[in-house]
Amino acid sequence: MNLKKIKLFAKNIRKNIIFAAFKAGSKSAHIGGALSSADIVAVLYSDILKIKKKKTLDDNRDRFILSKGHACLALYSALVEKKILKKKELETFESDGSNLLGHPIINKLSGIEFSTGSLGMGLALGVGVALAAKKKQKKYKTYVILGDGECNEGSIWESVLCASHFKLDNMTIIVDKNNFQQTGKNSSIMDLKNLTNKFKSFGCEAIEIDGHDIKKIYKSLNKKNSKKPKVIVANTTKGKGIQMFENDNNWHHSVITKSIYKNIIKEL
C-alpha cells in the first residue's frame, strides 16, 4: 500500500468535488456527503478496485455501486483521477444534457455502473451482480457504499438478509456513517443505534473503523472473509476535509460561491 499515493488521490478527489460544486453554481450540490466518502472512495479507486481506464466494460472488472447516489461528486472525481472521465466533463456537472447529474446515471463505459439516488436500491443491484458472479464462477468483487440515513430504508435490510442467505462473501458493503441525514442528525430523526451489531445479527461479518484513516480502510478492505458478506461501518465526518463544512449539515446540499471557493481551496 502506497500511503502517500492514496492520500494524494484523496486530496485530488476533494479538490475535484469542490471544483465541480463551484462550477454548478446556484444549482447547488451535495457536498458534505461526498466529502465524507472521499477517503473510502480514494482507497477503493487508487488501490483496491480492479478497474482499468480502457477496460471499463471488461467482464472481469470489479463492480462499484454508489448506492448513496447523492455522493456522486466523489465518484465522478475518482473517475477523473483514474482518467476514465475527463476533467472537462466535470465542468458540465448538473448542466443541461450533461451525463454527470446530481445523481449518477448509468454509463458503464464511463465507469458508472447504475443510476442511483433513490436511496435504498443500490444494494439489491449489488446482490444481483454478486450472485451473477457466483453463478458464472467469476472472481470479480462487488463493492457497495451505503449512507447511514439510507439504512432507514427497509429495502436495504431485505438485501442484507439476502446477501447473508446466499453467502455472498464476494461482496463488501461500506457504510459512510457521518451521523447526519438531510434534516438533521440520524439519532434524532431515526436512531440507528448500534449499526454494526445490526449487520452482524443479519449474518454479515461487520467491523467498525475510522472512515478517514487510510491505513485502516485499506486493511479492512483487504481482510479476507468467507461465507458471509463483509460490512465495514466507517465512522466519518460529514464535510471532512474543509474545516467550515465539517459537521455542518447546512452543507448537505448547498452552493459554493466564488468567495467561498477562494477560501476553501487553500485548505487543499
Partner 1 sequence: MKIENNIKLWSSLGMRATFGLIAMELAKKHPELIITTSDVSTSAGLDRYKNKYPDKYIDVGIAEQNLIGVSAGLSSEGFKVISTTFAPFQTLRCCEQIKVNLGYMKHKICMVGLASGLVLGNLGFTHCSIEDIGTLRSIPNISIVVPSDPFELFKVLNEAIDYKNSVYIRLTAGANSKIINSKDYEFKIGKAVEILPGNDVTIIGCGNILGNCLEAASILKKKNVQCSVVNMHTIKPIDHEIIRNITSKNKLILTVEEHNIIGGLGSSVAEVLSSYNHNCKLVRLGINDFYSSGGSYEYLKNIYGLSVEKIIETVLSNL
The residues of the shown chain that bind partner 1, judged by CB under 8 A, are 106, 113-115, 118, 120-121, 123-133, 135-136, 154-155, 158-159, 161-162, 165
Query: Minimal distance in Å, beta carbon 202 to partner 1?
Result: 13
Query: Minimal distance in Å, beta carbon 58 to partner 1?
Result: 13
Nearest of 264, 221, 215, 240 to residue 7 by alpha carbon: 215
E strand map for 142-249: 142-147, 171-177, 180-181, 184-185, 205-210, 230-235
**Pick 84 or 129: Cβ nearer partner 1:** 129
E strand map for the chain: 63-66, 142-147, 171-177, 180-181, 184-185, 205-210, 230-235
Query: Minimal distance in Å, beta carbon 118 to partner 1?
Result: 6
Gap between the Cα atoms of 236 and 239, Å rounded:
9
Query: Minimal distance in Å, beta carbon 17 to partner 1?
Result: 25
**Pick 31 or 49: Cβ nearer partner 1:** 49
**Pick 130 or 232: Cβ nearer partner 1:** 130
Query: Minimal distance in Å, beta carbon 167 to partner 1?
Result: 13
**Pick 27 or 165: Cβ nearer partner 1:** 165
Gap between the Cα atoms of 242 and 234, Å rounded:
19
Gap between the Cα atoms of 67 and 50, Å rounded:
19
Alpha helices for 99-181 (secondary structure H): 122-136, 154-165
Q: What is the dihedral of CA 244, 38, 250, 173, to 10 degrees?
A: -140
Nearest of 79, 171, 165, 89 to residue 122 by alpha carbon: 171
**Pick 229 or 241: Cβ nearer partner 1:** 229
Query: Minimal distance in Å, beta carbon 129 to partner 1?
Result: 4
**Pick 88 or 135: Cβ nearer partner 1:** 135
